[in-house]
Structure 1
Amino acid sequence: MKNFNRTNLSFSLCGLNCELCPMRLDGHCPGCGGGIGNQSCAIARCSMQHDKVEYCFHCTEYPCQRYEGIEEYDSFITHQRQLKDMIKVQEMGIEAYNAEQRQKVKILKTLLSDYNSGRRKTFYCVAVNLLPLKDIENVMGQIVKNVSFCDWTAKEKEEKIASLFQEIAVEQGLILKLRKKPVKKSE
């Protein structure tokens, strides 16, 4: 969006973890307020009308009607924890939150380079976005410690990692897939 720039391109204005988005990883989007390639956004326009707040929770009108149902459906990145992540940022501070996200990005890149046969990118992005860092690190630790894991095929490795992430997600009541908005059928 023209004239909309932000200093933190990792955590969006509205609470998305841009660094964990497949669009960002592929270089198709620089992130919220990242200049050229940045997508048009109603929330960014709203920020410009409200003194260019860095995060929506800095706005005096937050939470506004724009947040009603915001976590219900996903885009390229999961929206399932948008509001919770904004609360988390407020509680722990943006620097600590960004440090945690950098750890998640590092793990995500390892998953994509070493344990992906081309079909798990979105799954890994969603899992790393939604699951707590300690749980993700635990799964990665299990993989490293498993001696027989080295002898497995790439597909067996990614299936094992996916099943470990799924187990954690089920325990936490999370859905590790993008929830697309249903397409309205023409009459």
Structure 2
Amino acid sequence: MGTITTIAPCGINCTLCHAFQDVKKKCPGCRSTTGIIRKSCLNCAISNCDKKEDYCFECMEYPCKRLKYLDKQYRLKYKMSILENLDYIRQKGEEAFIISQNKKYTCPDCGKLRTVHYDYCIYCKQEKKK
């Protein structure tokens, strides 16, 4: 796989992260080799994993306890499953995943990508449609 650099090893799409979209202190994404990566991403249990696969699903321990915990947190807080993201990437590929995510998270009012971390578009304040 070519590994799109805006997809974290754990299956989170960095372009949907508030830190990535923050214009004041923009995070370049957790796979970036340039720029300052946010402390929350650097401290992530997954990013501190000693395995060096492109994606967590390539690991012999997939899904590990760390990943299951992170998935649970994301499902509860942000209504997103990173395990489902990883399964999608494994089955359909990175490009299809990005297209799917862009379709799902594009604001219907302003056309910009929403962040998964808020229930509204940070650009035009449009609330997510239920």
TM-score interval w.r.t. the shorter chain? 0.5 to 0.7
Q: How does 1:1-187 map to 2 (within 5 A)?
A: 7-27=3-23, 28-35=26-33, 36-39=35-38, 40=42, 41-46=44-49, 49-50=50-51, 52-74=52-74, 78=78, 80-104=80-104, 107-108=106-107, 111=110, 122-124=118-120, 158=126, 162=128, 165-166=129-130
Q: After TM superposition, give the deviation of residue 8 of structure 1 in Å.
A: 2.2
CA distance in 1, matches of 2:63, 2:15: 24
Bigger-Rg structure (1/2): 1
Gaps of 5+ in 1: 1-5, 114-120, 126-153, 167-187
CA offsets, 1:69-121, max 9 Å, x none? 323324xx83731111111111111121123334456x2495376xxxxxxx8
Gaps of 5+ in 2: none
Q: Superposition RMSD on alpha carbons, in Å? A: 3.2
CA distance in 1, matches of 2:71, 2:18: 18
CA distance in 1, matches of 2:11, 2:4: 12
TM-score of the aligned structures, taking structure 1 as reference length: 0.49
Equivalent residues of 2:6, 2:31 under 8 A apart: no
Equivalent residues of 1:16, 1:79 under 8 A apart: no
Equivalent residues of 2:28, 2:37 under 8 A apart: yes
Q: After TM superposition, give the deviation of residue 9 of structure 1 in Å.
A: 2.8
CA distance in 2, matches of 1:109, 1:37: 31
CA distance in 1, matches of 2:73, 2:63: 18
- One-letter code aligned to 1:61: E
TM-score of the aligned structures, taking structure 2 as reference length: 0.67
Aligned residues between the structures:
114
Task: Provide the secondary structure at the position in 1 that maps to 2:62.
Answer: coil
CA distance in 2, matches of 1:102, 1:80: 14
CA distance in 2, matches of 1:79, 1:45: 24
Q: After TM superposition, give the deviation of residue 24 of structure 1 in Å.
A: 0.7
Identity %: 31
Which structure features the higher share of helix residues? 1
Equivalent residues of 1:24, 1:30 under 8 A apart: yes
- One-letter code aligned to 1:38: I
Q: After TM superposition, give the deviation of residue 7 of structure 1 in Å.
A: 4.8
- One-letter code aligned to 2:47: A
- One-letter code aligned to 1:16: I
